[in-house]
Amino acid sequence: MEHESVPLYWRNIPAYYRLVAKRCKKCGEVYYPPVVKCTKCGSAELEDYQLPHEGELVEFTVLRSVPTDFLKQKPLVIGLVKLGPVKVLGQIVDAMPEKLKPGQRMEVVFRRVVVDGKYGLVMYGYKFRPRP
């Protein structure tokens, strides 16, 4: 599979690692993934906005047919988690799907997301898991 390029991964590190979002300085709208222009008011003046690392599970689904980078992690649990003002999509780990319930407390964790073969870069990023 074609992975994200090393420069692109590097540019996205604050967003991937720490969930640094963007907030419009004019109207206050928050964007994750980050954007360069506010789609609500059109302003290009955005500032970094740190999302909280805990939130509430909104929805989740269990994928049994998965992208090639995740073939060895079937089934893949993907969830939408409300983190402050935004809902963020991500993988859910360390959980039995039958025990997950919308509304439950989730925490952000730091995990391997893509490993570029045997010799390439290990790309890290956020995932979610039930808050212990």
Identify what 23 binds: Zn ion, other proteins, none; CB under 5 to 8 Å per kind.
none
d(CA 119, CA 64): 28
Q: For residue 96, what are its two tokens?
A: 């039995």
Q: Which residue has the tokens 């609500």?
A: 40
Q: Residue 21 or 123: which CB sits closer to Zn ion?
A: 21
Query: Looking at 5, 6, 102, 110, which residue binds other proteins (CB under 8 A)?
Result: 110
Range in contact with other proteins (rule: CB under 8 A) among 14-22, 26-34, 37-45, 58-66:
14-22
Q: Which residue has the tokens 């590190």?
A: 13
Task: Report DSSP letters for 38-105, one per residue.
Answer: -TTT----EEEEEPPSEEEEEEEEEESS--GGGGGGPSEEEEEEEETTEEEEEEE-S--GGG--TT-E
Identify what 103 binds: other proteins, Zn ion, none; CB under 5 to 8 Å per kind.
none
Query: Looking at 32, 55, 127, 128, which residue binds other proteins (CB under 8 A)?
Result: 127
Position 43 contacts Zn ion (CB under 5 A):
yes
Contacting residues toward other proteins, per CB under 8 A? 13-14, 17-18, 53, 72-73, 93-94, 96, 109-113, 115, 117-118, 122, 124, 127, 132
